[in-house]
Structure 1
Amino acid sequence: MSIGDFAAKTAGRELATSADAQGLVGAVLDTVASLVVVLDREGRIVRFNRACELATGFTAAEVVGRSVFELLVPADELGDVRPVFERLERGEFPSRHQNRWRTKDGGARLFDWANTCVLDERGQVELVIGTATDVTERDRAERALRDSEERARRRSAELEAVLDAVPAAVFITRDREARSMEGNGFCLELLRLPPGRNLSASAPGGERPRGFRAMRGGQDLPPEQLPVQIAAATGSEVRQCEYDLVFSDGEVRHMLGNATPLREPDGRLRGAVGAFLDITELKRSEQALRGSEARLRALADSMPQLAWTARPDGYIDWYNRRWYAYTGTTPERMEGWGWQEVHDPASLPAVLRRWRESVATGSPFEMEFPLRGADGRFRRFLTRVYPLRDEGGAVVQWFGTNTDVTELVEAQEALREADRRKDDFLGMLSHELRNPLAPIRNSIYILRHAEASSEQAARAQRVIERQAEHLTRLVDDLLDVTRIARGKTELRRSRFDLLDVVLRAADDFRAMLDERGVALRVELPSAGLPVDADETRLTQVVGNLLHNAAKFTRRGDQVTLAVRAAGGEAEIAVRDTGVGIDAALLPNVFQPFVQGARTLARTEGGLGLGLALVKGLVDLHGGSVRVESAGEGQGAEFTVRLPLAVPGAARPEPRAGAGPGGARRRVLVVDDNADAADSLAELTRMLGHEVAVVYDGPSAVARARAEPFDVILCDLGLPGMSGYEVAKAIRAGGAPGLRMVALSGYAQPEDRRAALDAGFERHLAKPACPDDIARVLG
């Protein structure tokens, strides 16, 4: 009879027997080791034996009469225990289940329950009796075992993954003779063998792997001398063992391996494990490194920079040859901190501070400072120093270079100066373009209100002419400088006497100088000076030099224009006794936009382009120009030298003659600027021609096809349909005998060529001179 059956029988009797009998039953139940609990059909505790008290910490007095569900069953297990109790009530017993009970100390223990019931006279469940064994420790042990097995399984999987992932060949043998050997994936790949093959060179003959041999020093290694076999047989560890694997196709792989024995718990040998690295690439790298060290030193000695290395503490221990060549020092003087002697004392404290900071923090060093050369002069160097670190990140060496940036620094300073001059130029340009507008506007007002034949009107006209010429000269100077800078200036060479050009220029400027009270002296040789040159451009050169002298002389000063032959060259000198040139300005006097000091009034005007044009044009002619001045208030002298013409090598170019005049022409004027078109039409009518005006390209094409015209004066920059397209469209329609002339502010050589290619016969730059208009109209 089981404890449960006994409990059921005695519990049934206990309800009807005497107190002595009840005490006897209770004593019996308290003696059993199993937990016995009796519940009524509502789950209230009727009996709670001694084993229950010991397991839970509750006494019978504390629990009898209370609900087992509320007192002992944890809330998270009620959903499992109540269905068991309900099945017992339905008569489904005996039954078994496991659940936890709370203990008095706040813990919980697991019990394995066997349940039965006591029925009343009607066959209804009256009592539920449960007997249990405390399986808490067994459950913990089982859980620990399962966890241990799972950890072991995971560790085994992880170990296999590690072995397959490591870039090393891992061998393992489980017998002292190493007759059978396994390996990881890298091992199989290295040996070119499929999975499952015995990898041991000590295997029985038919099982030995083929296709490679283990060798050292050109000799085959016997199997017993291989690292894993040695460790398995002797129990000794094998360290840093090198040998070669030579494959049947001739490939050789260099191996480095360690092997260690495997032992039973009692210490008996049971095999060995070995790990081998393929050091083929390392061997090649070492060989290449040894071969490259000499090349690297040679490279460091031949590089344009000064180079050096330093210890982690900043102590410099090597310089390349270029350092010694530049500084003129010796290794003995420079070692350590001796480099300080070639530094500028003014910058040395900052250099030392920055270098010590880098050494202390391990951060790269970059700084620009001067170094003294063997000639005693200082040059600017950009110094960069980088740390070389080991695998742990510690600085093991410093490598530094000093790059000569003297020319770069000077170029940057020149760029900044050029930028400043550009800003000055923009201010001057604004002033110079606005200045002529005031007298032009005033003169227009006078013309509008004065009698047409009055002296006032005549003066106003002369003012407008002068100021228009001034504006034209400014624009022409800008275009000329641009063309020269871009190499787009074309010289029209012919042979002529340079003295003719000089005399004309002198005559042109004499009146201006006389008005200012400045004397002009001309000194010419007795014989002519023939040159092969562009007459117009040389006239411009002499004129610019005289104009420059006029601007910087005062009343009572003198300008001398002297020409002479010197060593196969013609020399033109313009000397003045004016304000002179500051020594700081002399090196830059021929740069665009460079001017001497001016007052705010800027009475003389100008953009600082005249002398730049002189140099550019003289250079194009294969000549040279120089300037000399003793300083401010000492005057200045500009000297131009040009090659004289070689006898018999003249290259005259035909000049364009004036067209036939006097004929009345039908002229079509095309310009989208109404003022420009209408004023040009009025000028053309004043020249005696019949004129029509249109303001866009399509109208010009339609008008030219509808009416016969002798000449078309057409702007190039028309919106929508350009002047080039107008010319092509009109030429496509025939138009025999029609002369087309392009008028445009686009006046570069390529613009002229494009106009001719489109069908124009001539190209005139805006603003066109009325005389030029008259000539092209014929």
Structure 2
Amino acid sequence: MNGSQQQDEASTPHTRRFDTDVVLQAAGLGLWQIDPLTNLVYWDDYCGQLLGLGQANQLSYPAFLRHIHPQDVDRVDQALRGAMTLPPGGACEVSYRTRGADEGRGQWVRLIGRSALNLAGLVDGLAGVAQAVTPPKETAPEPVRQFGPLQTMLAHLQEHVYVLDREGRFRYVNQPLLALWELPYEQAIGKNFEELGYPSHLVSLHGAQIQQVIQTAQPVDGESDYVSPQGVAGFYEYTFVPLLAPDGSVEAIGGHTRVVTQRRQLEKILNESETKFRTIIEQAPVAFNLLVGRDLVVEVANEVVLGYWGKDRSVLGQPVRQAVPELAGQGFFELLDEVFTSGQAYEAKAAPATVAVNGVYGAYYFDFSLKPLRNAAGQVYAIMSMAVDVTQQVLARREAEAGNRQFRTLLEAIPHMTWTNTPTGGVGFFNERWYAYTGLSFEQTRDWGWQAVVHPDDLARTLSAYQRTLTTGEEFMLENRYRRADGVYRWHLNRALPLYGDDGQIVQWVGTATDIDEQKQLEAQLDQQVQTRTSQLQTSVADLRRSNDNLQQFAYIASHDLQEPLRKIQSFGDILRNQYASQLGEGMGYLERMQSAASRMSTLIKDLLTFSRISTQQEATLPVSLTDVVHLTLSDLELTVQETGAHIRVDPLPTVHGDASQLGQLFQNLLSNALKFQRPDASPVLDVRARLVRAAELPAGVEPTRPAMVYHLIEVADNGIGFDDKYVDRIFQVFQRLHGKSGSHYNGTGIGLAICQKVVANHGGAITATSQPGQGATFSVYLPV
């Protein structure tokens, strides 16, 4: 491509873009674009002014969202992301306030956009226009007429009071009705019964009744069952009354609703009480019977008590002594006589009794009560007996007591201090090792008395951790110091775990205290050693930094000192060649070989200095356009390109963060090598291309110096002489050349590719190559996104 072609192709799009910008700005439109791959937003200058985005023409997507009013961010983000989601061709249109709209610094704008696809069928971006729009008008319901003190009273009535307009929309609602709806006042006002979630039959009924009030100017009463939108069921009586304007017309409807749920339920309960009472007695899991008269006749006995007696319903109507003679001798009949005579109730816990279960009598335990019933004259006429079988609880308690004794024995056997405490923190048990260590008694350390042996410096954090554990139920773990009986404090590791009951609640905590004093002393010694080693390492790092500085200074000075005699050799050689060539004769060949060797030595010194600087230079993090870097490099190689007749194709390359100078040296070496190592029978053909690859797609052996999810892959491919793949690791080492200097027209120092490897490593990437002799070579550079 010649210079004039580049100028024409560059100027024509610029002219078209200028005309388009003028037209768009005249229409009040700005251009914007979102790249989902880079997560960047781009815009033209006019769009930046509309959206309040500043002078730059790109931002990250999260930074772009921060220029949107906080109340509109979620809505705009949802609209834009929805347009970039498959299926393709998504569009969006959304209006919002720019940041600072409340303070008068922003404005309302509208974004209109559509997504586009790439060749792979994936969403490649979202682009569109932006324009300023008029703020939407907010509508508010007409205010309800102010009632003054009367309105305050209505707001706090327990009954529901409200006002409807002629269309059935709520204009006033008191607090009890808002509490039923579970809505704030602002969300209820202006809505009708249907919008508030009332069932359809009530919506129709109330609509007809409201029209009736409007037409007749007379109140309407009604009653209905109702389930609120929040699931609250009940019965209501209501009244709609007309509210008249000065001219006598109905301007609004007042509403008054009374909750009659409790009355309805009470009526139902009273109607069903007898049946329920009988059903409860029969289905109750406790033994129940009613004994009437001085003979204690069995009038009521449920299935549970009949089962314990081993009888059926034939015992009803018989005196209890006659009906259940098996109870004689257990003291039950004597207790009945005493309660009937004294009129005093009797209760017993875990009382033993011999009763029948499945027809077989055996020993059981009951919690039972005998309550005398009195008539209107105050005389005892019956005894109500209830009994609950607690046999399993009694046996379980006895088993638990036995287990607790075993548990205490185990805690005594543990070679550490142990304790148990209640869910509220009071300690109720210490093993003997605690008392032997502290020299205190149980009374001195019970509950919270143990604080006396904690080191004063550790007490505050010990209590804080202990209280936090009691609150959260998490494991208690803490290191602190306990005072021994001789006054010496020793470090202990405390641990406590909760024990849960059948109901899932903590019933107690079990803790241990392990002596770790020797371990703490060893840790202190290790910390001192670490500090010493760290100090030594810092000294070594400082020495290394000074060494690197000295090396860099040496490299700079050495390069200048070495170049100076070489320049004199070359200068004197030029004088000999220009002024004494005829006199040198055959010596002229030696002179030219000397000049060639001096030139190679000069190039070698420059390459070594470049490699040294790249090895010690700090990585820069400025945005660098690789497209600009490659075009600038090709401009430097323009003479070589023309001499070799090379054909070069450069695809659009990404922008990366790095050092432009180092990246220029990278492509200078790659492109110059591609032009140098060409077959004599073919003109050079070079391709520079780029694409994205995921970390999982990296070839084996390629290990970038900075990990990333995605990498830029930049490939420089040629049709040159190539090389054997087995030398791929060797070519990136200093002074390694696959083509020797002797008898070869491929000149070089063997440092260029080592410089490439160092530049790529400085930028967090990796470089490799693939080739075969006579088939060209492809150098692959991976840079993190």
Judge same fold: TM > 0.5, yes or no. no
